[in-house]
Amino acid sequence: MTTPNFAIPRSVIWNDESISLLNQQKIPHVTEYLELKTIQDVWEAIQSLKVRGAPAIGITAAFGLALSALQDEAVSLVTFQENIRKNRDYLATSRPTAVNLVWALDRLVNSITHVKSVNEGKTTIVHEAIQVQAEDEAVCRLIGEHALTLFNRGDKVMTICNAGSIATAKYGTALAPFYLAKEKDIDLRVFACETRPVLQGARLTTWELMQADVDVTLITDNMAAHTIKSKGINSIIVGADRIAANGDTANKIGTFNLALLAKAFNIPFYVAAPLSTFDPAIPDGSHIPIEERDAEEVTTIQGVRTAPEGVKVFNPAFDVTPNELISGIITEKGIVTGDYTTEIRNLFS
């Protein structure tokens, strides 16, 4: 058997005293890795979308907290733990919707509850951050394997935003089955929605899938219905930023539109997400905080103004797809469907 000759890019690399971060704002024009040395660098990188995608945000924040732990000069353990909690709260303000951010930060904070010294605390926190990243890679591969069972050779599958390798540790969630299909020589065709306002589909999904030689076709968001009908799209798969206890799912703005189209065309609509994206503490999607971002993202495209000065703008970065529109949620533990409240409770028991 020959080794497949394709590349799957990575966005976050831990260097012991700094983080190398793929600057996703510059893809596809420039492939540049930034060196983040402080917790402020990390906050800014997350807030300005240099790193984005729920699991990658969590991983970067975890390494940011690890950096702050290594740089902490506290002598007493109590002060060290208090500083870590404050830094956790600071990083948690960088973006509101993706629950992976607080999930990863809280995991690190909890890891140092029972340490005996500041030094042990530092080692433990770094180790935990490395684990968060390593586990995410394994989890994404499992999601890809489960998702692949839902497709047939030659299927045409639509997606939105970028739920790919650079949005995670590796492989991605919604894009993982396409990498695995490539490894197994199964032909699948991806139709990527460009994803206004900041074009994660056009800039990132096409870039990473083309490097892996996955067959990808770019469309603008308003071409989705026509494309489903005229190209015979078989199914839609998306990622998630937060999934409530009843399966309601927040993901990139425009996802809800695709779920409604899937229902209209009677094709399956799948969500792919790790357990770290679930928020079982909230009963339904109405409790998910939806980030509203700067008006400039809408009034400009890549820095070029396209709307009149002073126009009123509404710019929600995410929407919530109600559970009844979701055919299945693909996790590392398998695919949940039907009675989401019960199925999701079982996932966590």
Does the annotation flag 346 for ligand binding? no
241 is catalytic: yes
Instruction: Find the binding residues for ligand MRU in span 243-272 (CB under 6 A).
Output: 251-252
Alpha helices in the chain (DSSP H): 39-47, 54-71, 77-92, 100-111, 118-148, 176-183, 200, 206-211, 224-231, 255-265, 296-299, 340-347
In this chain, which of 105, 158, 163, 166 binds ligand MRU, going by CB under 6 A?
Answer: 163
Counting every residue, how long is the chain?
Answer: 349
Task: Kindly name the residue from 72, 155, 241, 248 that is annotated as catalytic.
Answer: 241
Contacting residues for 50 by C-beta, under 8 A, at least 6 apart:
21, 23, 24, 25, 34, 44
Residue with tokens 């402080």: 38
In this chain, which of 21, 53, 243, 244 binds ligand MRU, going by CB under 6 A?
Answer: 53
Nearer to ligand MRU, 53 or 64 (CB): 53
Nearer to ligand MRU, 303 or 308 (CB): 303
What's the min distance (Å) between Cβ of 308 and ligand MRU?
Answer: 26
What are the residues facing 232 on neighbouring strands? Answer: none
Does the annotation flag 200 for ligand binding? yes
Encoded one letter per residue, x for contact with ligand MRU by CB under 6 A and - for no contact, window 9-28 reads --------------------
Find, among 128, 145, 60, the residue nearest to 95 by Cα.
60
Is the alpha carbon torsion for 161, 166, 167, 172 positive or negative?
positive
Distance between CA atoms of 221 and 254, rounded to whole angstroms? 8
Helices (H) and strands (E) in the chain, counts: 12, 16
Instruction: Find the binding residues for ligand MRU in span 287-326 (CB under 6 A).
Output: 317
What's the min distance (Å) between Cβ of 165 and ligand MRU?
Answer: 9
Nearer to ligand MRU, 99 or 125 (CB): 99
Catalytic sites, residue numbers: 241
Q: Which residues bind ligand MRU (CB under 6 A)?
A: 52-55, 98, 161, 163, 167-168, 172-173, 200, 239-241, 251-252, 317
